[in-house]
Structure 1
Amino acid sequence: MSSHVRVSIGVQRFSESQWPLVALLLASVLLIGLRGDLWWTDRLYAWEGGRWSLQSHWLVESVLHVGARRVSALAWLAVLLAWLVSLVRPAWRAWRLPLGYLALAVLLATSLVSLLKSISPLDCPWDLARYGGTHAWHDLLSPGVGMPGHCFPAGHASAGYAWLALFFFFSTVRPARRHAGLLIGLGAGLVFGLAQQLRGAHFLSHDLFAAAICWCVAQGLYQRMLAQDMA
């Protein structure tokens, strides 16, 4: 492959990899700056009868919260196992670095979201007086936020959005499937996130910031580990 073709492919992939992040950031501005978070959550809360009636529902709690988190963890363990196999099987050698990238990207993304969530001053909807709780509402830009609310960004949604790294994984090993990888990460994150919104556990912007963090981690790690091999 000529250097000109390699550069063209690299520019194309770099450009298309920016659009999801741009869209997420614009949506976050609308949700926080124009209080779209409250508009959307008000409607969910009213639809559930003025209380979080789905908070303990078996589908959203047992299946889409607990069960989905376990599936994501098992998927990560499967990737880790495949990487370990690639260390001892010569036939899997070409997959070693991409699999290592995928395992590391998912782990770092979920860990970073978890760390930020642990020190976050923002509350969950169910903690707010507006939605049956006791706390006053503050947005991300509000001064004087009190004790940590441990609710931003969305930890559970990150267990789905972390798999956005599949876009870059497939860009390396099966370029034609990279958009399928993107859809897997987006789909899992959206389902996980909506389940938590229905329980009153998160605002929509919490999910979007989790997605943006996961995307940045996946893209940055790709540039460090895989992009040079594609040049």
Structure 2
Amino acid sequence: MQTASPSRFYWLNFGIPLACAAIVFLMFDLTQIDIAFNNLFFDPVTQSFPLDQSHLFEKITHKWARIIPNWTAEIALIGAIASFIWPRLNPQKHSKIIAFLEKIKVAPVLRFAAKHRRDFLFVVFAFSITTGMIHYLKSHTSVYCPIETTQYGGKIEHKEWYKNFDLLNDAGEGRCWPGGHASGGFTMLALYFVARRYRWRYSKALMYGSLALGFIYGTTRVLQGWHYMSHTFWAGIVVWLTCLLTALAFYGRARLDKPVLGKDEVPGFENEPQVAG
């Protein structure tokens, strides 16, 4: 089946996020919209963000919410490790082990892991690289969270990320830009690229769901005064571009650019190239 032109693929996948970055920069980083939005949730009388004082809100939206990306990463890591086991079991030398694994229903799991090793490794690398990129930007921009700034009763003067950016050196102790919690939700975009590899017809739903998760994660932190809304947008842009570059390295453009399957078509898993054991 023919794929779309490379220029269209790169325009959609790189052009749109970069255009969004320009819009966010002009609308938020160069204006007071971020502060005006956060002011809606700040109580000037108590000099605090009321939702930041709610332990239940913190537990549900910040601590418990991490389960989704954390468990996804852990499953991917376990799958990647397990993928190396089955190819190393020789039917002649390890017949008893194989029989035992079949009996306890572990063999099908190991075969599945081996067959999809590239996908498990991709998710592990995508999560690791995006997390590393977010941490790099945090340390090299040294942006303080709203609640830490003089605008909201803190001690640090508010500065935009581009005023502190240092390409090679640690810019300071601030660690608020881009949004770390939001990026945790956005990292689920890695699953979208796996779905695109197999041309799953619901892959866009997975993409929208991952984007929604990231925005929900980020917005809850805004309500608590620990981020500005633009931090969430920047986190989404950074994670998308990082996941995209990692997916291109693992799968190639042609594979990711094929149209999704129709209702009567079945994913051709059996035609997928196997990774050597």
TM range, normalised to the smaller chain?
Answer: 0.7 to 0.9
**C-alpha distance in structure 2 between counterparts of 1:47 and 1:76, whole Å:** 40
Tell me which of 72, 83, 88 is aligned to 1:86: 83
Cα RMSD (Å):
2.8
Question: Where has structure 1 moved over 6 Å in runs of 4 or more?
Answer: 143-146
Report if the CA contact (8 A) 1:162-1:185 is conserved.
Answer: yes
CA distance in 2, matches of 1:73, 1:186: 17
* Structure 2 equivalent of residue 135 of structure 1: 156
2:239 pairs with 1:206 = no
The counterpart of 1:69, out of the listed 55, 66, 71, is 66
- The offset of 1:105, in angstroms, is 0.4
- Per-residue deviation, 1:229: 6.6
Match of 2:212 in 1: 187
State which drifts further: 163-172 or 56-65.
Answer: 56-65
CA 150–70 in structure 1, closer or farther in 2 if over 3 Å, else same: same
CA change 1:72–1:143 in 2 (3 A) is closer
Q: Which amino acid aligns with 1:70?
A: I
Superposed, 1:92-131 pairs within 5 Å as 92-131=113-152
Q: Structure 1 unaligned runs (5+)?
A: none
Q: Aligned partners of 1:25 and 1:60: how far apart in 2?
A: 33
- Quote how far apart the aligned CAs of 1:225 are: 0.9
Matched, 1:31 2:28: yes
How many residues get paired?
227
Deviations 1:23-78 (A, max 9, x none): 34422331111232112112222599752111131343111111112332112111
SS at 1:54 equivalent: helix
For 2:5 and 2:19, the matched residues in 1 are separated by 21
Secondary structure, aligned partner of 1:166:
helix
Deviation (angstroms), 1:228: 5.4
Letter in 2 for 1:193: G
State, as a whole percentage, how many aligned pairs show the same letter: 21
Could you say if the C-alpha distance between residues 162 and 190 of structure 1 is closer, same or farther in structure 2, counting changes exceeding 3 Å?
Answer: same
Q: For 2:59 and 2:133, how far apart are their aligned partners in 1?
A: 25
Paired letter, 1:81: I
Q: What's 1:40 paired with?
A: 37
Larger Rg, first or second structure (1 or 2): 2
1 or 2, which has the higher helix percentage?
1
- 1:20 is displaced (CA, Å) by 4.3
Matching residue's letter, 1:77? E
- TM-score, normalised by the number of residues in structure 1: 0.84
Q: Residue 48 of structure 1 contacts residue 54 of structure 1 at CA under 8 Å; is this kept in 2?
A: no
Q: TM-score, normalised by structure 2?
A: 0.72
Render the CA deviation track for 1:111-149: whole Å, top value 9, x for unaligned. 221232234321110011211212222222447998432
Gaps of 5+ in 2: 87-109, 258-277
